Every structure is written in structure tokens, then in C-alpha cells.
Structure 1
């Protein structure tokens, strides 16, 4: 009898199939999986209602017909061109009826299909275990700097140069500030965010530095996993010290899209009223509605972001006083590339 297929065995298969509904898949799924539901969202509700109201037999009778129709569609569609030696791994929520029914039919065709033991729930446990086991020893190098220091762009440049990077804001689809929402893109679920982090850690070389941006506990509405946050706060810091002029120029380029939605920008600034008072916020909102981003961003830097920067960094990062610093007047793409090289140079010099 073949041993159960575990999460760590998944790379030995040609295709990873998520048999859950599209809504479940959208919340979170194993990286690389394709969604081939045996019940779609509406069908899952129908079957669940039948189970509650009429019992398991009626739910399985109606659901079985739906499953058969969906499997037939997959066999005629996504699976139609698969060769005889195709080896797929299938999972559902718990590794039960949904993935089991698909595996049965794929095996009847002649493919060596297997079912992931424990389904998605086993993947979720794997993610939690990975974060708890790996985070305490991660070789982090934490990029810090005042707002507008292009830390995320430096991370991206480091990745392009072949270095290990954990882009938390990229995974969170948020820039981390009150104005950090990415236009037209929703943040992922908390579980999908953690899946993205675990996926990066899976492929990590622990002998090489892992560069990451210094973050607070929350990025938008998402929360950093506690083991990662603790390691982040205890790791060596590299501070980017850009001139105010360079930072303002960068912010105007990086947040230029805010000028396309002046009312939305003004509304977001309203959330800062308790910190800065009605008069200041009224001025900022007027600039937002006028499209005067240079004046607005200059005062946001001077009055909102910069005054508490040093204190917040020293409170959040235990290695703050021992940080290494890089000064720059250039945050253009060429300047960012040079900063990335200088960051690596600091590591090589130690």
C-alpha cells in the first residue's frame, strides 16, 4: 500500500490541482496549484443546504451529479491533452470526498493521480510550522529609512541583481502607510499573505543574507506573523539616508497616481485629523484637491513622517544604534541600483 502523499512530496508531481470551489481557491491555495473545482461556488451552497435540511444521502445524490458534470468538463478541457504518464496531485479542504472523487476518475482514465493527505488544512499547518521553525534563525538584513527613501525599490534592485529578498509589501500588496493602498488591487487574505512568506522561506539559502524592509506589525490590514516580526526587530539594520530633495522627488514619482483621485486622497488625509488638527488637515486636503502634490508631500514629510522616525526605529529595532548607514542624493533608477550594490558591499566588508 502506497504511503500517504504529504505536502513536502508535492514537487514530485507534474500538476497540483486544487479541487475546491473558486471562492476557497481565491482566499488561499498552495503556490503553483490550478483550480479545477468539482463543485463551483453556487453548487457548494446547494449541496451544503441539502445536507443540513435533508441529510447526507440527498446531498450526495445531487452533489454526485454535479461532480460528474464538472469532472467531465475538466476531462474534455484542461486535462484533455495530458499524456498517459501524467502524474497529478489533487487536494481539497481536508483531503476528503471532493479530491477523492477526482482522483478516482483520473485513475480510471489511467493516470497516476494521488490525493494530498489532509488537503489544504495540511498545507496550512505546513505554513505555520515553517514560519515558526525558520523565522527565529533567518539571516535578515533589514533596510530602514525615512518615508520616501526608496527602500522597496532597493529591495527590487537587490532581487534583480540575484540576491535573496523578502518583499513583504509586495506580498501584502500595500506600501505600508496611510496612503499605501495599491490602486485597483485588493490585499490578499491573511492566510495567503502567510503562504507567500512561507513560499519564499522554502527556497531560502540560510548561508546567504535575506534582505527585507523594516516594517511595523501591520501592513495595511495584514499582520506580520509574530515569529517573523520578532526576528525582524532583532536583526541588523542598514539605514538609507537620502536627502529631503531626493525623497520628495521619489515620492512624487512613486505616488503620482494619487493625483488621479484627488477626492480619495483628501478623504484619506482626513484620518490624520486627530494627529495634526483641523487647520493643517484642511490645508493638506485643499492641496490634494488642487493636485498640488509637491506642497502636500513636502509637508507630510516634515510634519507627519519625519518627526517620529528616529524614535519609532529605536523602539522597534533593538540593533538600531549599531546600524550601518548609506547616504545618497539620488533615488532615480540608476541611483537605486547603486544603492543596492552599496548595500551588498556593506555585507561583504564585514
Structure 2
């Protein structure tokens, strides 16, 4: 591959081509791509100074300042970082924001160092526009089936087991409920949308047919789901996952509480119970108004009893009580109300095994 600019965005994303992003770190943090690595031409302060000079004195003065700020050892460090990137990813390409001056300067310095790699035509802005257009095109086509089911029924397990599916909660790094946040931070909104578009693009590349997506609300944690997709989901055919209350309680206890408690214990066993209590209490406080004062106080009391039983004899029974009350009194009524709006579009209802067999038969 020569140093000519690349405009085949589809291939870049489908092939997961390593991307070197030469924008400043602040730009990268605001939005990037899953396979991108930030190796800036200018750091944040340098970019800000150059931008100010451009506004006040024009392009030539800004370019001159840029070369003054990034020279000598600083320039050598930047070029060394680029060299290391392309030694690790010989097939990689690079981009700036619009595929303009920063890409040209980067390419020139790389060539001076004996490295001949192409940049992306139109840069980040063009790739982002491509992914947004792809995402809206997929929504317009309407090729989705919605996986519904009450909280704790195991919808994520079905999504992971069925190859033609999209895991929006996985992409958002959040399970979707008040108890759903992970230890790791959620991605930026733009990063989520980029990853979603790429994942859907890969599904389309496999051939025609609907993609299975879990029924989601407007927000997954702090990540917003596209309103156009939510409108599509309301009208799409649904598949409903069934599971007993007992099975749901067990799954939620394991996935939301026991696993978190185990992670806390690995960090500091003496604080694990207190950290678990704080996590649950914070989640309950977030939905306090919708729970109502009396129900909230009852659940908080059950939590305190549960922490005491957990620390004294490693007993999880009070957590099962808390979870069942949340399901029966809070989550299930909300699910039932939402389900009634779409029950005339249900294609199939069954357990995880039955749903996977039904999907395979089609």
C-alpha cells in the first residue's frame, strides 16, 4: 500500500485495520473508533495555542507556530511513537480530523523517517459521517427482531448465544438497570455509536436477514439509544424470553451481587461487604421516588440484614428476598406495561433453549 489517501471506509472497519489517530488527546477522548490508537502530532496545549494563532493571524502563522512547538526532541519523540505503531501494525493507516494539514505533516515526517503509509481521506470527520449514515441506513431498513423478557430472564445470554445479534449493553458497558453499571467507565456517546455502527455493518456483511437486539429503554446507563432505533423497536417483531422468578432471582444474585462481592474481596476483603452495601444502597436511592418511601425503607432494612448475614455466616438469603421484592413490586409491573404495548407483534415465546432452537429453524 502506498502513501495515497484511503477512502474505502467500509473495508477499514470490516477488516479492523489498525488506525493511528494523530489528533490531540482531548479530541480523541471526545470520540474515536474501536481500532484506533492515539499518537498525536500535537498535545492539547500545543493544539490550543496553534488554534488561537490561526484565529488571530491566519494559517501561515499557525503553521509556523506548530513547527516551533513541535521540533527537536519533541518531534523526534512523536516520530518514534509513530514508527513503533507501524512496526507493530505494518498494515495500519493514520488520520487527523479532516484529512488535511495534520495528515500531510504527519505523512511528510514519516516519509523523512523512511516510513510510507497512507492517511484516511477526510479524516475522522468523514469516517464518523460514514458510520452515522450506515447506522441510519440500517434503522431505515428495519431488519431487527427485539428480544423481550422480564428483568433477570437472561436476555444477554441469548444475545451472546445467537450469532446474528447486537449486544447494545455490552457496547455501552452497562447492564441497563439501576444496578447495571460496571467498575469500568462507560464509553463516550460517540464511541458507543461508532462501535454500534461497525458491529451492525459486520452483521449486514454476513448476509440478509433480521438481527436480534435486546429490548432497551432510552438510556443504557448514561448512554442514549438513537430515538429512531427506539421508534423502530416499538414496531418490530418480538421474541419473548420466559424464566421463573426463582431462576431470575438466582441469576441476578450471581451476576449483580455475588460476582461484584468477589471482585471487592480480591481488592480488600475487609471492605468488601461495606462496598457491596454502598453499591446496592446507591442503586436503591436512584429509584427511591419510584419505589415509594415505605417500600424503599423496607428494602434498605433488608439490605442491612443481608450484609449482616453475609459477613457473619456467608448467607445470601436476605439478598434473594430483596431481589424478589424488587422484581415483583417494581421491575415486573413496568415490564408488563411495556409488553402490553407490543404483545400483538410477538413471534415466539419460550425458554433460552427453545428460542435458540426456533431461531435456528428459521
Q: TM-score, normalised by structure 2?
A: 0.80
2:336 pairs, out of 302, 305, 310, with 310
Partner Cα separation in structure 1 for residue 181 and residue 298 of structure 2: 22
How far has the Cα of 1:149 moved from its partner? 0.4
Output aligned runs, 1:29-44, within 5 Å.
29-44=32-47
How far has the Cα of 1:23 moved from its partner? 2.5
How far has the Cα of 1:121 moved from its partner? 0.8
Corresponding residue SS for 2:48: helix
Corresponding residue SS for 1:143: strand
Structure 2 CA distance for partners of 1:10 and 1:122, relative to 1, 3 Å: same
How far has the Cα of 1:136 moved from its partner? 2.6
1:151 pairs, out of 150, 155, 179, with 155
Partner Cα separation in structure 2 for residue 272 and residue 13 of structure 1: 40
Determine the structure 2 residue equivalent to 1:168.
168
Deviations 1:12-62 (A, max 9, x none): 897422101223223321332222100112322333344456665554333
Q: Are the equivalent residues in 2 in contact too, given 1:141–1:209 (CA < 8 A)? A: yes
Pair 1:26 & 2:29 matched? yes
Structure 2 CA distance for partners of 1:30 and 1:283, relative to 1, 3 Å: same
Corresponding residue SS for 2:83: coil
Pair 1:237 & 2:238 matched? yes
Q: Are the equivalent residues in 1 in contact too, given 2:4–2:118 (CA < 8 A)? A: no
Determine the structure 1 residue equivalent to 2:311.
none
Output aligned runs, 1:159-308, within 5 Å.
163-182=163-182, 184-204=183-203, 205-256=206-257, 257=260, 260-290=275-305, 291=307, 292-308=318-334
Partner Cα separation in structure 2 for residue 86 and residue 284 of structure 1: 56
Partner Cα separation in structure 2 for residue 15 and residue 246 of structure 1: 42
Partner Cα separation in structure 2 for residue 148 and residue 49 of structure 1: 53
Corresponding residue SS for 1:242: coil
Q: Which runs of 5+ in 1 are unaligned?
A: 328-338
Determine the structure 2 residue equivalent to 1:332.
none
Determine the structure 2 residue equivalent to 1:346.
358
Output aligned runs, 1:310-329, within 5 Å.
310-315=336-341, 317=342, 320-327=344-351
How far has the Cα of 1:320 moved from its partner? 4.6
Q: Are the equivalent residues in 2 in contact too, given 1:50–1:59 (CA < 8 A)? A: yes
In terms of fraction of residues, the more helix-rich structure is 2
Q: Are the equivalent residues in 2 in contact too, given 1:16–1:89 (CA < 8 A)? A: yes
Structure 2 CA distance for partners of 1:322 and 1:104, relative to 1, 3 Å: same
Q: Are the equivalent residues in 2 in contact too, given 1:71–1:102 (CA < 8 A)? A: no
Structure 2 CA distance for partners of 1:297 and 1:211, relative to 1, 3 Å: same
Deviations 1:272-326 (A, max 9, x none): 33323212111212223443422211110111011232221232x4x65433111
Determine the structure 1 residue equivalent to 2:129.
125
Structure 2 CA distance for partners of 1:246 and 1:227, relative to 1, 3 Å: same
- The CA RMSD measured in Å over matched residues stands at 2.9
Partner Cα separation in structure 2 for residue 54 and residue 153 of structure 1: 58
How far has the Cα of 1:174 moved from its partner? 1.0
How far has the Cα of 1:343 moved from its partner? 2.2
How far has the Cα of 1:233 moved from its partner? 2.6
Q: Which runs of 5+ in 2 are unaligned?
A: 262-272, 308-317
Determine the structure 1 residue equivalent to 2:264.
none
How far has the Cα of 1:211 moved from its partner? 2.0
